């Protein structure tokens, strides 16, 4: 495999466990955990194995805050497990988007727990318009996750429990860690949503009304597919095609554009996150995609600077030549990111 690199995120001092102050790069050549490759995805029998593992998961529902139905899936190891992982997904996402990642983690001995956040995926909506990206209270994301943890993970007496959060799920996950300091042994964050590109947060406060309304430029889900060459999520053609196909097979899981309310409540949450960062006790690893066009990556630098000033334990990396969706990126970026996550879990 061609050599590829993760570059440390601006402040190398945040990397407490593995490097000296003058540390510059991480270099690896091996697919240490036998993570799925793009060539394997082209094999129909291999792709079917991924589907079979996903279909074998136990699915269920629980009632979240304000009586919203929350959908989940659980993938328990049949015998001895290494640990459990709770996945907190991004906006518009659903468990079906994580089939390949679930397959890879499961094959490495982990039990997997994932729920669709309220207002998206196969969970209940808070608006009459099924496609609206809306949240009644950002804290409810966290409350739902806590209920899922307490009722479906903790009683199972796992040896260890890790958090794996992506994008919006990162904001949910960090809030969770600030409010529940001992629930996870370690946490990994892929392109966490810690800020939106200015002047979005300032402008939305002038436009928000009392009723849910699509933000400027946002619409219902558009079935006219964005061509791979025009997408701003991933550089992997085959993984992008699999993403589109997964949601086409389950149209109920699709979600459209964000409302002013969702944007405003997310922006308010960013302030809360940074104001309460001192409460986090969980070791953290953070990955920032070099070519991310979805969230404000400058917020990652701010996070690392503050975490370093508070002497928090963690590591932070820029993933070179990567777009926002690290878990469906090309092999170089995806495998290296997952390698580092599993190394981090092994250390904790």
Tokens 């302030």 -> residue: 271
Q: What confidence tens digit (pLDDT) does each residue in 3-35 have?
A: 334 544 444 445 433 333 322 344 565 899 999
Give 83's DSSP letter. Answer: E
pLDDT of amino acid 225: 80
Q: In sequence order, which residues have a C-beta less than 8 Å from that of residue 122 and are 6 or more positions away?
A: 71, 94, 95, 116, 250, 252, 253
Q: In tens digits, what is the pLDDT along the chain, a chain of 348 residues?
A: 333 345 444 444 454 333 333 223 445 658 999 999 999 999 999 999 999 999 999 999 999 999 999 999 999 999 999 999 999 999 999 999 999 999 999 999 999 999 999 999 999 999 999 999 999 999 999 999 999 999 999 777 799 999 999 999 999 999 999 999 999 999 999 999 999 999 999 999 989 988 999 999 999 998 888 899 999 999 999 999 999 999 999 999 999 999 999 999 999 999 999 999 999 999 999 999 999 999 999 999 999 999 999 999 999 999 999 999 999 999 999 999 999 999 999 999
pLDDT of amino acid 12: 40
> What distances in angstroms separate CA 24 from CA 13, 19, 27, 88, one per listed residue?
11, 9, 10, 30
Please, which residues bridge with residue 166 across strands? 190
Q: In sequence order, which residues have a C-beta less than 8 Å from that of residue 198 and are 6 or more positions away?
A: 296
Tokens of 43: 């094999």
Is residue 218 within 8 A of residue 133, CB to CB? The reply is: yes
Neighbours of 63 (CB within 10 A): 12
> What distances in angstroms separate CA 209 from CA 196, 212, 215, 272, 341, one per listed residue?
20, 7, 11, 22, 41
Tokens of 105: 């983690």
Q: What confidence tens digit (pLDDT) does each residue in 327-346 have?
A: 999 999 999 999 999 999 99
* Whole-prediction pTM: 0.93
Domains with residue ranges and CATH for the chain: 4-347 (3.40.50.1820)
């Amino acid at each position: 495999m061609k050599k590829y690199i993760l570059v440390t995120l601006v402040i190398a001092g945040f990397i407490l466990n593995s490097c000296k102050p003058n540390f510059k790069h991480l270099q690896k050549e091996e697919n240490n955990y036998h993570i799925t490759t793009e060539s394997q995805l082209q094999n129909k029998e291999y792709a079917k194995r991924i589907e079979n593992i996903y279909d074998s998961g136990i699915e269920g529902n629980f009632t979240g805050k304000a009586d919203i139905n929350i959908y989940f899936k659980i993938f328990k190891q049949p015998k001895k497990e290494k640990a459990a992982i709770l996945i907190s997904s991004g906006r518009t996402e659903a468990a079906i988007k994580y089939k390949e990642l679930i397959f890879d983690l499961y094959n490495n001995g982990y039990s997997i727990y994932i729920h669709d956040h309220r207002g998206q995926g196969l969970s209940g909506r808070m608006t009459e318009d099924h496609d609206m990206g809306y949240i009644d209270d950002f804290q409810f994301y966290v409350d739902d996750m806590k209920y899922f943890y307490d009722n479906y993970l903790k009683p199972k007496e796992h040896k260890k429990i890790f958090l794996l959060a992506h994008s919006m799920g990162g904001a949910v996950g960090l809030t969770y860690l600030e409010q529940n300091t001992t629930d996870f042994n370690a946490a990994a964050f892929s392109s966490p949503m810690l800020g939106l590109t200015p002047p979005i947060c300032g402008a939305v406060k002038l436009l928000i009304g009392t009723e849910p309304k699509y933000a400027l430029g946002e619409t219902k889900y558009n079935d006219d597919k964005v061509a791979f060459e025009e997408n701003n999520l991933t550089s992997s053609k085959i993984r992008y095609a699999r993403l589109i196909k997964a949601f086409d097979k389950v149209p109920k899981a699709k979600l459209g554009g964000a409302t002013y309310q969702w944007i405003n409540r997310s922006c308010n949450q960013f302030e809360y996150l940074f104001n309460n960062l001192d409460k986090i006790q969980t070791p953290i690893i953070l990955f920032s995609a070099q070519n991310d066009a979805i969230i404000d990556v400058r917020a990652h630098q701010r996070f690392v600077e503050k975490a370093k000033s508070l002497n928090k334990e963690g590591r932070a990396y820029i993933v070179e030549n990567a777009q926002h969706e690290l878990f469906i990126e090309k092999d170089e970026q995806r495998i290296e990111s997952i390698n580092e996550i599993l190394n981090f879990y092994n250390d904790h």
